[in-house]
Structure 1
């Protein structure tokens, strides 16, 4: 073969370089730096790839107290942040908050004994760890857990504190903190104070946390020789107003969740950090009564890589109503500065800014802060020093310190922070550092809804069924209204012809930041669930779902009807549905008739109309009336599903099922309860419930 001349070599080299450049684009070059990542994710060195070694991280950053959190919806993360702030302000601890998934744990035994480790752990679903705590949980509770130092016992060096977030309506109440605590003690670690347990099911989570933390701090101070000092506010973030930028500057975030959205080039994977701005294919009201109404919405995900399975959840990213945004900005004297651009940066290396910057006060409050939620007693106490006068300061101090008084004046009326401050100070303006608001007001969280469609029938269209939340509260002039469902109602009104929808007088920026949502799009992602039909369609299923608890069962029945049309052998399918009146809130009445035509005697709908008879009838009553058939189906290994209210309905259905098994099989109730527990353990009994 002839030798290559110089031109050939140059051409081949150019081709080689071009090929290399193409295949390394985005990994070795051409990767635009995301200012959002710079503002908070990159300051967390674990995420930036510097270290997953927690001991090294604590040494590098000069920390002597680390608070790990396992959080699904943000509450545990919020409590961890509050502990970190209080530890620093009251005791001078050098604290840091850490996401459990950011670190390895085989060197927990190397953490010096004069350092403090705290665990704030939520229990998710049926006793499972939260997504970010799975690896830690499997490691610490594993049979073959091993550590770096070879000590005996391995964690004799570790001093720790633990608080759990749970829901007593679930069987495995607070199992995460209980099991982790047990595992740590088994490995020789030393717990300081009691392991606290918060109960969302009883609605006492906040007070449980406050009741736990004060004796915990006392025990910690005694054990570790800490000296309490007068708590002085020290900002975690710097907030700098930018005169060189306006809200129309292209690099300014106006509510976009990340840089890709800011630049209009958002792409997958779409998830809890990166929502898909999904078109709403259609929307209508299933019913509208004097005190409530119910929406059906079809979300089109065909333009994304989002997939779902029947029984999964869809997360809607809401925006706060304009009236509450105005109220919040005005009470803090920011109404005239709403469009002022600010850059927010952490003042210490482990803090994370919870939204992208530079941005505006309006965008932060509208898209990133949970300003409509009832205010916490601890935050009220934190704001007392900033009161505009002594009378207001005294009242805020009393509210922050007196549990019963706070419940009477604040909790009972579901007052958010701005409404409370307006009321207490009689409309005076509060001069609070904006950093304190970023730290004290929790992040606006996505709301999760059980998907009410079958992925087999409509894989690229997700159905939502949601009652628009409204609560009439004594002593409050206007009702408390849910953030996400009223936002969805505004979107429905816009889609159906109202150019400026204001449901119940609430207005929303439904066209989104820079009008990118155009009023008929909604930010969403999908959360996968274990709430699933049996893989064998011939298995019988019994479903109990009153009200919007019927949502996933619409998907289940839709799927079974499709399977039957495809020639599959479908087992007996019974749905116990509850509503008030046939002519008021009988959800999907016509659809059930269509499914009945397809499934024949394989499908039965049993409806409890609670307000039609001389006495109230609920799903659990009708379940008991069918005791013989229910037991026979269970003996055929039927799957049993419950969806809806956890505190009352789900608990009563669980009890009724035990009674049915006891009576029909002639066994003691204790034995029947054991059978129900075994059904749960085998996934034969599944719940998708909420408080």
Structure 2
């Protein structure tokens, strides 16, 4: 029995579904990320609430951590969950896992389907990229022209680009602090290689149709389409494959040793986990690399398209303000490119694709599918409120928009509070992005810069070192002057370190106990006076 629950009502009501809930046998597995404060809070509460309402728990609550290996967490939990279910319901388990495909393949012969009925990269509606109609959202992105695409780094072996997207014809609106979602296209070389490794005709038109006719999800992605389109627009081919994919690949191996290797990595044994860690994770092997290094594995391409996850849009903090740039959205992004232990060069899907799409004289401007995702990362309503911003590297992006907005307000005669920025990078003369802009803002009195160049001296200096020296200032702004505090960047390390420094400032300079400091910062968060735009 499936019960669909309105969570807000469910959390607040004493009585729900009456006797139905008391007949319910349930189990909860939550998906979360430990780098965030409220790790798996909904799953934990749901499990507890179901028990309070009289439901019978079949097996203990399971929690998956996406900061580690969420699939490994699930498999470990599932291996104990299934025997418990069998015992509870008197089911005889064979102990063998039967592999059943969720979708069946339909191959369309040439001429069976008119070309204008074949999806060519649209997210949901056929021809939505050819015939654009607002409103624009996740299922109906706007094809924005790239009007500017320039390098921000002045030296070194890394690259960071500044991209400007023209949204003038979209009727989309954004605010400083919002995100822009970009739908990428996979590297054509990887797409071609997958076609070679599977022996498939990439231009063949096919459909994958759900074997469960009652399912609302008829296809894993828009169908009918070509294999080339599916691999380019719809499936994630650069991510590290999860263990369930390796388990399915076993069936396509002709070599027994290859079968054993893949099967071992798909198990929950310590040996299997260790092999998965070394062969997949440490070596950064994607599906192409796996098929290259296990040559006896020849999967059907349609099954790979079913198994691989859907290619998702990538989100970027908008680095502009609509007050100054109402018709363009700016992106600031580091190009992801690194050499793996196997000698291959891996590239970020979206940043590599964006970097290649530069405007050229005499040619049509390149276009990219985008939409705006609203954020809670907002400037104070009162411009006179002081703010502290901590954003090393591309964490500067939303604060560039904030500074533009505050400078615009000041230029229009408004009283603007103090804006304090902590920014860090490796070298002043290499990766100090937007240096001229920031220094001009400082000269005009729009910002106070606190800069950390980690590798310009013998001892590394980070923004956290600067913050530790400025605890009096931190407390004065958030404790005495009703200011706002913002962090943007790495969630796993930087954001945690910064939060701990702020907690220490509240204790040492604000005279609070440790528990009082924690409550103080939680109150700031609830009032949107302590905000984080972070990623792991």
In the superposition, the TM-score normalised over structure 1's length comes to: 0.73
Distance 1:519 1:221 in 2: 60
2:447 alignment partner in structure 1:
603
Verify: 1:639 aligned to 2:484, yes or no. yes
Distance 1:174 1:235 in 2: 30
Structure of higher CA gyration radius: 1
- The CA deviation at 1:244 is 3.4
2:353 alignment partner in structure 1:
487
Verify: 1:186 aligned to 2:52, yes or no. yes
Verify: 1:567 aligned to 2:413, yes or no. yes
Deviations 1:281-319 (A, max 9, x none): 211011164432001001111111221111111100001
Say which structure, 1 or 2, has more relative contact order (CA 8 Å, 6+ apart).
Answer: 2
Distance 2:77 2:507 in 1: 40
1:410 alignment partner in structure 2:
280
* C-alpha contact 1:165 1:200 (8 A) present in aligned 2: yes
- The CA deviation at 1:156 is 1.0
* C-alpha contact 2:183 2:370 (8 A) present in aligned 1: yes
Question: Which of 39, 43, 62 pairs up with 1:177?
Answer: 43
* C-alpha contact 2:318 2:330 (8 A) present in aligned 1: yes
Distance 2:458 2:24 in 1: 63
SS of corresponding position for 2:531: strand
- The CA deviation at 1:449 is 0.5
- The CA deviation at 1:481 is 1.6
Distance 1:440 1:305 in 2: 37
Verify: 1:617 aligned to 2:461, yes or no. yes
1:315 alignment partner in structure 2:
181
Correspondence 1:99-498 to 2 at 5 A = 105=5, 136-143=6-13, 146-147=16-17, 150-151=18-19, 155-201=21-67, 203-229=68-94, 230-245=96-111, 249-261=115-127, 264-287=130-153, 289-334=155-200, 337-349=201-213, 350=215, 351-401=217-267, 402-425=272-295, 428=296, 430-432=298-300, 434=302, 436-473=303-340, 475-492=341-358, 495-496=359-360
- The CA deviation at 1:408 is 1.1
Question: Which of 651, 658, 675 pairs up with 2:496?
Answer: 651
1:588 alignment partner in structure 2:
434
1:23 alignment partner in structure 2:
none
Distance 2:119 2:376 in 1: 36
- The CA deviation at 1:461 is 0.9
Verify: 1:689 aligned to 2:534, yes or no. yes
Task: Give the paired residue count.
Answer: 528
Deviations 1:46-88 (A, max 9, x none): xxxxxxxxxxxxxxxxxx5x5xxxxxxxxxxxxxxxxxxxxxx
Distance 1:459 1:497 in 2: 25
**Comparing 279-288 and 308-317, the one that deviates more:** 279-288
C-alpha RMSD of the superposition: 2.2
Gaps spanning 5+ residues in structure 1: where? 1-63, 67-102, 106-135, 500-517
* C-alpha contact 1:296 1:465 (8 A) present in aligned 2: yes
Could you say if the C-alpha distance between residues 393 and 450 of structure 1 is closer, same or farther in structure 2, counting changes exceeding 3 Å? same
- The CA deviation at 1:145 is 5.8
* C-alpha contact 2:15 2:53 (8 A) present in aligned 1: no
* C-alpha contact 1:260 1:266 (8 A) present in aligned 2: no
In the superposition, the TM-score normalised over structure 2's length comes to: 0.93
**Comparing 633-642 and 216-225, the one that deviates more:** 216-225
Verify: 1:549 aligned to 2:417, yes or no. no
1:533 alignment partner in structure 2:
379
* Runs of 4+ displaced beyond 4 Å: 496-499
- The CA deviation at 1:453 is 0.7
* C-alpha contact 1:388 1:431 (8 A) present in aligned 2: no
- The CA deviation at 1:243 is 1.5
Could you say if the C-alpha distance between residues 606 and 587 of structure 1 is closer, same or farther in structure 2, counting changes exceeding 3 Å? same
Could you say if the C-alpha distance between residues 645 and 145 of structure 1 is closer, same or farther in structure 2, counting changes exceeding 3 Å? farther
Gaps spanning 5+ residues in structure 2: where? none
1:558 alignment partner in structure 2:
404
* C-alpha contact 1:242 1:340 (8 A) present in aligned 2: yes
SS of corresponding position for 1:298: strand
